Structure 1
Amino acid sequence: MYLISRLFLFLTKSAETSRKEREEAYLSESADIYDLEFRMRKLDREKTGRQPSWMNHYG
């Protein structure tokens, strides 16, 4: 029964919710404030890299 409930939760989560949970888990693994800041900047860089290439000139 546990496996079925976990599968149902997995299938009903939106992509945005899953992404946020992964990011929060990644940030919570930081060792200190400097590591946290590094990880936050890394996530920010990855987010800005997701825009179409033609938008790189506007920013």
Structure 2
Amino acid sequence: MFLLSRLFLFLTMSADERKKAHDNSYLSEATDLYDLEYRMRKLDRDAAVASTAWLSHR
């Protein structure tokens, strides 16, 4: 039953909602302030690389 509810939740969430939930979960696992800041910078860097990735493909 748990698997069916997770599948239904996955199918009803948009890609942006899934990414936001994943990012929030990742940030909530930080052990201290420095780890949280590191994780926030990592997410920012990953977002910046993803948004300009189309420029690097020739």
> TM-score by structure 1 length?
0.78
Task: Return 5+ residue gaps in structure 1 as ranges.
Answer: 55-59
Task: Return 5+ residue gaps in structure 2 as ranges.
Answer: none
In 2, Cα distance between equivalents of 1:21 and 1:32: 20
> Structure 2 counterpart of 1:37, which letter?
E
Which string of whole-angstrom CA distances, capped at 9 and with x for unpartnered residues, describes residues 3-59 of structure 1? Answer: 4333221111100000000000000000100000000000000000012226xxxxx
Structure possessing the higher radius of gyration over alpha carbons: 1
Counterpart residue number, 1:31: 31
Q: Percent identity?
A: 54
In 2, Cα distance between equivalents of 1:31 and 1:4: 32
In 2, Cα distance between equivalents of 1:39 and 1:22: 12
Equivalent residue pairs, number: 54
> Runs (4+) of structure 1 moved beyond 6 Å?
none
* Greater helix content: 2
Instruction: Please tell me the root mean square deviation across aligned C-alpha atoms, in Å.
Output: 1.5
